[in-house]
Structure 1
Amino acid sequence: MLFLVAALLLLGVVLGAVAHAPLGFTAVTAVVIAAWLGIFAIRERHGRRRGTTTH
């Protein structure tokens, strides 16, 4: 439960910061984060298929 409260608090801080940032900056940052998450997902899927751990 404490984790959920901390996550919601962090989400509020991030959304507050995004609300004051220019739209172009927000869009570029969103694309960078989406690309990073996509690369991470591909690496995780590839690693699980080979049976290796990434620890």
Structure 2
Amino acid sequence: MLFLVAALLLLGVAMGTVAHAPLPVTLVMAAVIGAWLLVFAVRERHARHR
């Protein structure tokens, strides 16, 4: 999952969407996306065990 977040962040930098945002904003948004993916993975794993 972290690999996915890193890949999307690097893709955003390469495409120029993140290049115009300050670094702290970029890091906060990467953390938000990572947390969202973590919550999604935990919910999916919990639902699969039921």
Normalised to the residue count of structure 1, the TM-score between the two structures is 0.63
Aligned residues: 38
State how far apart, in whole Å, the 1-side matches of 2:29 and 2:19 are. Answer: 13
- Which of these two proteins has the greater Rg computed from alpha carbons? 1
**Identity, % of aligned pairs?**
63
**What are the ranges of 5 or more consecutive residues in structure 1 without an aligned counterpart?**
1-10, 51-55
Q: Hey, what does 1:48 align to over in structure 2? A: 48
State how far apart, in whole Å, the 2-side matches of 1:24 and 1:46 are. Answer: 33
In the TM superposition, 1:18-37 aligns within 5 A as 18-37=18-37
**What are the ranges of 5 or more consecutive residues in structure 2 without an aligned counterpart?**
1-7
Query: RMSD between aligned alpha carbons?
Result: 1.5
Moved over 6 A (4+): none
Normalised to the residue count of structure 2, the TM-score between the two structures is 0.69
CA-CA distance at 1:45 after TM superposition: 0.3
